[in-house]
Structure 1
């Protein structure tokens, strides 16, 4: 059996070139792998960007609300109520500030869109309490709506808060809302207590 010459194995002229070739091979392999990793990462990023743009293009977007508004700016005084809904002897000034006609309304952070040829009529209110104690009011009982010259049918608000608390010496913003036909005309608000006389306010939009 032939024996390997130890001098050949440990000969620097043989070992050093072989070692250099080995390290060049390793570095070349790592370099190719690094390029491959970069290419894979770039492909993943490109696919992610493509999916994002595709999703933005074809995802359904919420249409912007269509709103027309008219200023009313009329004030009324009504008996203030306790937390139990009983008269307190104080007064709350209720101001009909503005009326809006829109196809969308936000209730408790949820957007509702009118359907089936309907619209929302939103009545924006300001309630002023000059007393030094908190008082309440029921706006939903104080406002009714008629339209299309039909005075026989008086509509209560579809959207309203119940007993609204107005802090002492403060003004509270609130609203009530009605669902109306898209083609409703001759809108009138009737303002007054349930068993009392009501004042009529014509609501006329410019468009």
Structure 2
């Protein structure tokens, strides 16, 4: 048998040539894989972005659709609130007009009363302290009440308390209008305590009395229901005083 012997250099070259082609083939496959993967990822991201935009548009559409559906309800609620507010304002204005027109306001009747009918005369002095005329104060009646009228509205005493109301008449004999603080002329003691004299905390001062006229008014004290031995002291602050014992029934 004839054996052909190839040079070793040729064998080595063939080996590297074969190995190089295989490596090139492998790199080509890897390149194709990454290229396909990159293209797939790009397509996926584009589709996802398009889907997100579509979803946002859909949500916006449904929000607009829901708002359009709710719009009539919102308008009805707003109109109802406006009408309710207008009715409340109209009623309050109507009540104010009724009160201003002098409509009668009912309060509870007096719990007890006492007729006094005493008249007192006091000097009317000008700014210089000179007497220019006389004023006459008549104490008509004393009452115990649970309700009174203050500023045109009923006021009710709290539990355990009651109003002692003193009804007065002020007569102005001067030829000009005068203003008088009636609370300066009356004090009250309770429970035989003549060390403490209470000033009226309910009054209409200063009371304006037109020239040559008589004006009714009142004073009041908020006292305890348990208070007994009520006594009034009547007179000028720096003048003589007269005592009036109250026995209200």
TM-score, normalising length from structure 1? 0.64
Corresponding position: 1:128 with 2:171: yes
Q: CA deviation at 1:161?
A: 2.2
Moved over 3 A (4+): 62-66, 84-88
Residues 122, 86 of structure 1: alpha-carbon distance in 2 compared, 3 angstrom cutoff: farther
Partner of 2:232: 189
2:118 pairs with 53, 74, 77, which one?
74
1:90 pairs with 126, 133, 148, which one?
133
Which has the larger share of helix? 2
Corresponding position: 1:64 with 2:104: no
Q: Tell me which of the two structures has the higher relative contact order, counting C-alpha pairs closer than 8 angstroms and 6 or more residues apart.
A: 1
Residues 70, 117 of structure 1: alpha-carbon distance in 2 compared, 3 angstrom cutoff: same
Query: What secondary structure sits across from 2:167 in the alignment?
Result: strand
Q: Between Structure 1 and Structure 2, how many residues are aligned?
A: 144
- Gap regions ≥5 residues in structure 1: 1-61
Corresponding position: 1:113 with 2:156: yes
RMSD: 2.1
TM-score, normalising length from structure 2? 0.54
Residues 64, 127 of structure 1: alpha-carbon distance in 2 compared, 3 angstrom cutoff: closer
- Larger of the two Rg values belongs to structure: 2
Which has the larger share of strand? 1
Between the aligned partners of 2:175 and 2:159, the Cα distance in structure 1 is 47
Q: Which moved further from structure 2: 102-111 or 128-137?
A: 128-137
